């Protein structure tokens, strides 16, 4: 669910990142994450998405009430956008993702684990795509549940799966675990970041099983290497 982060929380998050004092974050079990997963760096990926060939029929807002300024771009086997990051805490109830911690909590996700259960936002890096609309239809663009995504913030790269859908006119949202791994405050009520996040979705890809982060990293690294090597 998209939220507008309080200005103080946004400023604090930005200050920590700017000074290099943001803590090394972890997912679910507490293992420290590297600034990038694999050999492809943030600069290499960002160099390939400097120009936008807009494929959406219009632009998205980053938050309710904001101006629509974010296009969905495409080319060379990927779809991408540059936006903010709001925190999705939906799915399985956990210590940090539940009705008490998240006023917008919903106990389901659009896409499910291989055993049929919802995804677990606290431990699994996943990205939220806008629900299909006249602006853009993710499925028609070759994006599916479980598709692999490279999420970039600063010099950090995190591979994630497409795990949930959100409002049809708003873009820029990812799971608690994605934010934490990128050094972004993952609190669903006060966290996130107002800008500076790039989402690169690899078309017609699929992480199997969707709940395996290691599978997302392996596939993401392979596709990222091909993407940066392409003319």
Q: What is the pLDDT of residues 154-178, one digit of tens each?
A: 999 999 999 999 999 999 999 999 9
Confidence band of 5 (pLDDT split at 50, 70, 90): very low
pLDDT tens figures, 104-156 = 999 999 999 999 999 999 999 999 999 999 999 999 999 999 999 999 999 99
Task: Name, in order, each residue with C-beta under 8 angstroms of 33's C-beta and a sequence gap of 6 or more.
Answer: 24, 25, 26, 27, 158, 181
Looking at residue 33, what is its pLDDT?
52
Give the pLDDT score at 59: 98
What residues contact 20, with CB distance under 8 A and at least 6 apart?
none
DSSP state of 61: B
Which ranges constitute the DSSP H helices of 36-104?
42-47
CB atoms within 10 A of CB 16: 15
pLDDT by residue (tens digit) across 64-118?
999 999 999 999 999 999 999 999 999 999 999 999 999 999 999 999 999 999 9
Residue 29: band (very low, low, confident or very high) from pLDDT cuts 50, 70, 90:
very low
d(CA 198, CA 218): 20
Residues 6+ apart with CB under 8 A from 19: none
- Judged by phi (left if over 0) then psi (alpha if -120 to 50, else beta), residue 65 lies in left
The predicted structure's pLDDT at residue 21: 35
* Per-residue pLDDT at 36: 66
Contact present, 64 and 2 (Cβ < 8 Å): yes
Residue 112 carries which DSSP code?
B
Which carries the bigger pLDDT value, residue 9 or residue 76? Answer: 76
Give the pLDDT score at 13: 37
Mean pLDDT of 194-215: 98
Contacts of residue 120, defined as CB under 8 A and 6 or more positions apart, other chains included, come to: 28, 91, 92, 94, 97, 211
Instruction: Quickly state the pLDDT bin for 23 (edges 50, 70, 90).
Output: very low
The band of 47, judged by pLDDT with boundaries at 50, 70 and 90, is: very high
Residue 10 has a pLDDT of 38
Q: Which of 142, 215, 162, 153 is nearest to 16 (CA)?
A: 153
- Please name the helix (run of DSSP H) or strand (run of DSSP E) that holds residue 216, with its range, or none: helix 213-229
- Three-state DSSP at 12 gives helix
- Average pLDDT of the chain is 88
| pLDDT bracket for residue 35 (50, 70, 90) | low
Structure tokens at 21: 């004092």
Query: What pLDDT shows up at residue 215?
Result: 98
Per the document, the length of the chain is: 231
Asked which of 17-26, 85-94, 141-150, 182-191 is least confident by mean pLDDT, the reply is: 17-26
Tell which residue, 191, 185, 182, has the closest CA to residue 150: 182
At residue 30, the pLDDT reads 37
What pTM was computed for the model?
0.86
Question: Mean per-residue pLDDT for 183-189?
Answer: 97
- Give dist(CA 228, CA 224) in Å, integer: 6
């Amino acid at each position: 669910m998209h939220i507008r982060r309080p200005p103080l929380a946004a400023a604090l998050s930005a200050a920590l990142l700017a000074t290099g004092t943001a803590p090394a974050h972890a997912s679910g079990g507490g293992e420290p994450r590297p600034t990038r997963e694999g050999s492809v760096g943030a600069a290499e990926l960002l160099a390939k998405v400097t120009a936008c060939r807009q494929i959406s029929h219009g632009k998205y807002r980053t938050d309710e009430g904001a101006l629509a300024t974010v296009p969905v771009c495409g080319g060379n086997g990927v779809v991408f956008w540059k936006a903010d990051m709001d925190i999705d805490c939906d799915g399985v109830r956990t210590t940090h993702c539940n009705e008490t911690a998240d006023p917008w909590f919903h106990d389901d996700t659009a896409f499910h684990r291989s055993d049929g259960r919802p995804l677990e936002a606290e431990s699994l890096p996943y990205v939220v795509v806008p629900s299909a609309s006249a602006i853009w239809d993710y499925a028609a663009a070759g994006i599916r549940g479980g598709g692999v995504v490279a999420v970039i913030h600063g010099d950090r790269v995190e591979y994630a799966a497409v795990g949930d859908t959100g409002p049809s006119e708003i873009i820029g949202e990812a799971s608690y675990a994605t934010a934490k791994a990128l050094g972004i405050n993952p609190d669903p009520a006060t966290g996130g970041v107002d800008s500076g996040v790039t989402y690169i979705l690899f078309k017609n890809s699929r992480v199997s099983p969707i709940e395996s982060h290691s599978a997302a990293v392996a596939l993401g690294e392979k596709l990222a290497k091909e993407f940066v090597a392409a003319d």
